[in-house]
Amino acid sequence: MIKKLANRLTVLNYLGSLLFIFGFAMMVPALVHIFFPGPAISARIIAAFVVPGMLISAGGMFLTKRLPDKVPSIQDSMIITALAWIVVSVASTIPLYLLLDHSFIDTFFEATSGITASGLTIFTGLDEMPPAILFWRSFTQWIGGIGILTFFLAVSFRGGSAAATLFSAEGHKIQTSRPVPGIFNTVKIIWIIYGSMTLVAFLLLYIEGMTLFDAINHTLTLVSTGGFSTHDASIAYFSSLRYGVLIEYTMIFFMLMGGTNFLLHYKISSGNWRALYEDFEMRLFWFIILAAIILIGADIYISHGPKLITSWSTFHLHFRTTLFQTISVITSTGYATRNLNDPYYPAMAKQIFLLLMFIGGCIGSTSGGFKVLRIGVLWQTLVSELKQLSLPPKAIIPLVIQKKIISPREIKRICALLFAWIGLIWIGTALTLVCTDLGGWQALSGMLSAVSNMGPFFFSTEELAAFPACVKLSYIFGMLAGRLEVLPIFVLFGRLGGR
């Protein structure tokens, strides 16, 4: 009994440390409001960020100072991870609820979508929204894109076995090697890469014609593959700029970078460019993207006819639209130059988009989805089983990927995750069908987008805003479960259920 109490107090200690840091992050939009005030500087807007931020930091410091600190177990680390994302999502809600004329459920939905880098939004009128709020949406995606606890470990300079356990719980991916020994060194390298991507993307977008405020916000949501925009028209807003086409290609490049394993970035920065085509996951990633572009482009051509290639400019427009949306979807960024619900996209193209939404980006990236490597492991498992049929019963064929044997335990975990993933999507889709007027494909696209942390769906933002609270709550749960890849959330609810 005493041991269980100590474990729970340790959980609160770590949550307190996280909240202490996050409270300071909440105050940043107040500074943004001073430099980008919009119509006028409002003390109410500044207070909505500063006062909650100070209170949260003070509460976090109290928990950290008063409660015991020890190395958490794997199970406790998963509970810390799940609670951290839930608590930070609630904290992120406070300024939105205080400043906007929306219900708590709506602002909680938006904040959760931000911190999980999902990109689903129920807000319209973004072009007239206060800059501080727009920045807060973008900033939460940038923090959440690389991971709440990864952000915490980098800022707090924590290392050692406790940090390793927390890092593993938040990113319980297929076992891969770290770029360098030591968890803090690994986190530092990840943030150096992430920060460098952020700086370079900002400079390029600003040089290419975005305003300073738009460049800052779109950089934060670009490298995090979150997809929140400062305009209702998303990236289509910039099409009229002189270098609008260049902006799109810049975004395509950084979406691909965000959707790629950060370990691969480290290898490339170390001079190993061959990893771009030698790595098993990257080869499969390139194949899926190329196949999707060809199939979607062909479907659009068949549907709309030869008018698509009447001139180079017309062909380039349709090619660029297909390329941009394919990369935006598979990397879970969710930016749009043309809405996915647009009749421009035929039925097969939309089904391919759904498949890309499910697959997502690479392991160890900022992208959502089930992940390319897991799809590759399941495919190789199928191939291995088919080979097994032609061999003697006692013959054993190990599953080898990238010259490493994938253990049966890892395959079992991937299968369990797939089952949970499909189950969550099915339950959310069924609830949406019961409680709304959406059709089957539309309902599927909404919950699939939530669980895969994608953003786009096959209905309007206004329809999403009108959903009943129970459906929005199921989406919120789906976004959190998808971002944490299910297990920490299940462990948390199992502990709350007394198991």
Per the structure block, which two tokens stand in for 434?
């019961």
pLDDT tens-digit map of 410-440: 888 899 899 999 999 999 999 999 999 999 9
CA 308 to chain centre: 33
Residue 103 has pLDDT above 80, yes or no: yes
Q: How far is CA 7 from CA 48, 78, 79, in A?
A: 34, 12, 10
* Sign of the torsion angle spanned by Cα atoms 122, 127, 130, 131: positive
* Phi (first) and psi of residue 456, to 5 degrees: -75, 155
DSSP codes joined into one string, 413-450: HHHHHHHHHHHHHHHHHHHHHHHS---HHHHHHHHHHH
Least confident of 6-20, 88-102, 206-220: 6-20
Q: In the predicted model, what is the mean pLDDT of residues 353-377? A: 93
Cα 487 to Cα 417: distance, rounded to the nearest angstrom: 8
Assess contact for 292 and 330: CB atoms under 8 A.
yes
- For residue 315, is pLDDT > 60? yes
CA-CA distances (angstroms) from residue 262 to 166, 282, 319, 361?
Answer: 18, 12, 28, 12
Q: Where does 119-233 show beta strands of DSSP type E?
A: none
**Residue 223: predicted pLDDT:** 95
pLDDT tens profile 5-51: 455 677 888 888 889 999 999 999 999 999 988 766 788 999 999 99
Distance (Å, rounded) from C-alpha 457 to C-alpha 357? 10
Between the alpha carbon of residue 216 and those of residues 165, 213, 239, the distances in Å are 33, 5, 18
What is the per-residue burial (b if ≥16 Cβ within 10 Å, else e) of 344-379? ebbeebbebbbebbbbbbbbbbbbbbbbbbbbbbee
A 10 A CB-CB count for 418 gives 14
Say if residues 268 and 274 touch (Cβ distance below 8 Å).
no
Q: Side chain identity at 208, as an amino acid letter?
A: E
Kind plus residue range of the DSSP H or E element containing 401: strand 400-401
| Predicted local distance difference test score (pLDDT) of residue 28 | 95
Contact in structure between 339 and 350 (CB atoms under 8 Å): no
At residue 175, the pLDDT reads: 46
Report which of 498, 449, 495, 490 is spatially closest to residue 169, judged by C-alpha positions: 490
Mean pLDDT of the chain: 87
For residue range 374-396, what is the model confidence (pLDDT) as tens digits?
999 999 999 888 888 877 777 77
The SS3 assignment for 60 reads helix
pLDDT at 168: 59
Contacts of 382 (CB under 8 A, 6+ apart): none
CA distance linking residue 50 with residue 130, whole number of Å:
16
Contact 336, 251 (CB under 8 A): no
Contacts of 303 (CB under 8 A, 6+ apart): 346
Q: What is the crossing angle of helices 2-26 and 28-35, to 10°?
A: 10
Residue with tokens 């459906």: 471
Whole-number Å distance between alpha carbons of 275 and 67: 46
pLDDT, tens digit (0-9, with 9 covering 90-100), for 158-203? 555 555 555 555 554 444 455 544 566 777 888 889 999 999 999 9
Alpha-carbon torsion, ordered 353, 357, 363, 366, to 10 deg: 110
What pLDDT shows up at residue 163? 53
Instruction: Say if residues 333 and 248 touch (Cβ distance below 8 Å).
Output: no
> pLDDT tens digit string along 49-74?
999 999 999 999 998 887 767 777 77
pLDDT value of residue 311:
79
Confidence of residue 2 (pLDDT cuts 50, 70, 90): very low
pLDDT bucket at 471, cuts 50 / 70 / 90: very high
* CA–CA distances in Å: residue 74 to residues 22, 88, 145, 160, 491: 24, 21, 23, 14, 10
* pLDDT one-digit tens code per residue, 286-308: 999 999 999 999 999 888 877 77
Q: Is 125 exposed, middle or buried (0-12, 13-18, 19+ CB in 10 A)?
A: exposed
SS3 call for 336 = coil
What one-character-per-residue DSSP string does 308-331 give? GGSSHHHHHHHHHHHHHHHHHHHT
Distance CA(456)–CA(119), nearest Å, equals 8
